[in-house]
Structure formats: structure tokens, C-alpha cells
Amino acid sequence: MFSEAFGDIGAALKRRRVWVALASEDIGEGFRRSTLGPIWLLINFLLFLGILIVIMGRFAEVPNYPAFVASGLMVWLYISEILGEGCGIFTREEGFIKGTVLPLSVYVLRQTMRSVIRGGYMLAGAALVLLLTGAIPTTTWLTSLAGIVVLVLTAPPVIILLGILGVVFPDIQFFMGNIIRIGFFVTPIFWSKPSEFGMRALLYHWNPFTYYIDIVRTPIIFDAVPLDSWAMVGLMSAGLWIAAILALGYYRRRIVFMI
């Protein structure tokens, strides 16, 4: 299984021009008749962010609340796209999978690259908010960049696992839709870590998305490196990669007969 999985991933990495081109085409096709093109991704992010700041700002308990929400929302929208699109990755690519000999990981990396491109516009929006609010960069911010890299590297195993689940159990897409909707409210995107133990504290500590947001946001807002969050993220990401490699190795030759 390991040789099957690593062989598929390695073959896909050698075809990087294929999945980069396909991902870029996907983004362009989505805005083909638009005047502003992908700039709408930036505009939509800023509008959504502005509404959250206006509505929730009066409950703010953290410094530089606009930057706090911008960094959290940027990470959450990236995660939610990975979760939402990952469930149907192999069923959407049925024609390619049955008609070509491309490695399955090409489709995984295509989705990853598409989300990274979209995330780049949101990152630009968050950077604009940091600039307008007078946030002063420090060397600690470099760990936020490392956190963004970890988010990108964790996307492929998540897509692999969800894509296989989407073939084996098609209803996973409906379940994941509910997870994304509920997750927006129970994840600390626009609310901060509670000071007292209670339901919000449980939601904060037992929510895996919390830690991925924390490694990006805490260095920017509080000028500190959240070592506990980094430890949790390391364990979760490593576990996801191990599970994804095993699943890819087992299902790689079976997927074509299951979709």
C-alpha cells in the first residue's frame, strides 16, 4: 500500500504543470464573463469581513479586532473550501479518471492548488486589513507564514480521505455541509478564547479547527507562538497523512470501478 500511494503521489508531483494549469483554468472559467475576474474573491472576502466586524465588533474582547477576525476568517474559508470540495473530488473527475491514466493525486493537487489560489486573494485581503489597522510586523509573524504552509501541506491528505469517503459513502457530502455551517459558529473565528470553563471553552478546546487558526492568528494578534497549538497541529496533520497514504494505497486501483 505504501509503494502504491507514494508512487501515485510521486507521479503526480512530476506532472505539476498539469494540475497547476487545470487549477488556473478552473479559477479563470469561474469568472469568464466577469469584468473584474478573480478580484471578486477579494471583494467578497472584504464584504463578508466587514459585516462580521460591524455586527460582532461591539462584543470584541481582543486588541485589533478587525485583524483578529480577518486572520481567523481567512483560515476558516480556506479550510471550509477544502472540506466542501474534497468530498466529491473523485466523482467530479469521473470522466478523467476513466478516460486517462493520470495518477489520482493529480486531481487532489488540482483541488489543493485551486484552493491555494483562492486563499491567496483572501490572504491579500487580510494583509490589507493589517495595513489599514496599523499592525506592526515582528519576527514572530514568520511563524504565521509557517502555519499557512502547514495548512497547504495538510490539504492533500484531507482531500484524499474525503474523496475516498465520497465514493464509498456518497452521503458524506451532505454531512460535511452541515459540519461547515455549524463549524462557522462553533469555531473561534469572530469570538475569542473564553476566560472561564463552560460550553464555549469546550467548543474551543475540542474543536480541531481552533488549533489551525491559532498557529496563524496568535503570532499576529498577540505576538506569541502558541506551542500547544503547534503540537496539536503536528499530531493531527501527521495522523491525516498516515491515514491518507494507507487509504490511497488501498483504494488507488479500486476507485475507477467504484465511481
Question: Looking at this protein, which amino acid is placed at residue 75?
Answer: V
**Cα–Cα distance for residue pair 92/107, rounded to 1 Å:** 10
Please report, rounded to a whole number, the percentage of residues in the chain having pLDDT higher than 70: 99
Average the pLDDT over 90-95 and give the result: 88
Q: 118 pLDDT exceeds 90? A: yes
Convert the pLDDT of each residue in 226-242 to its tens digit: 999 999 999 999 999 99
**How far is the CA of 224 from the CAs of 141, 205, 216, in angstroms?**
9, 18, 11
| Predicted local distance difference test score (pLDDT) of residue 143 | 95
- Label residue 46 by pLDDT band (50, 70, 90): very high
Q: 116 pLDDT exceeds 70? A: yes
Q: Where are the domains of the chain?
A: 2-258
Please report, rounded to a whole number, the percentage of residues in the chain having pLDDT higher than 90: 69
| Predicted local distance difference test score (pLDDT) of residue 58 | 66
Stronger pLDDT, 35 or 122, i.e. the higher one: 122
| Predicted local distance difference test score (pLDDT) of residue 179 | 93
**Cα–Cα distance for residue pair 46/40, rounded to 1 Å:** 10
Torsion angles phi and psi, residue 206, rounded to 5: -100, 5
Q: 60 pLDDT exceeds 70? A: no
Query: In sequence order, what DSSP letters do the residues of 165-195 get, joined into one string?
Result: HHHH-TTHHHHHHHHHHHHHHHSSSSS---S
**Cα–Cα distance for residue pair 87/33, rounded to 1 Å:** 28
| Predicted local distance difference test score (pLDDT) of residue 194 | 79
Q: 57 pLDDT exceeds 80? A: no
- Label residue 31 by pLDDT band (50, 70, 90): confident
**Cα–Cα distance for residue pair 59/18, rounded to 1 Å:** 47
- Closest by CA to 133, choosing from 142, 141, 125, is 125
Convert the pLDDT of each residue in 152-210 to its tens digit: 999 999 999 999 999 999 889 899 999 999 999 999 998 888 777 788 888 888 999 99
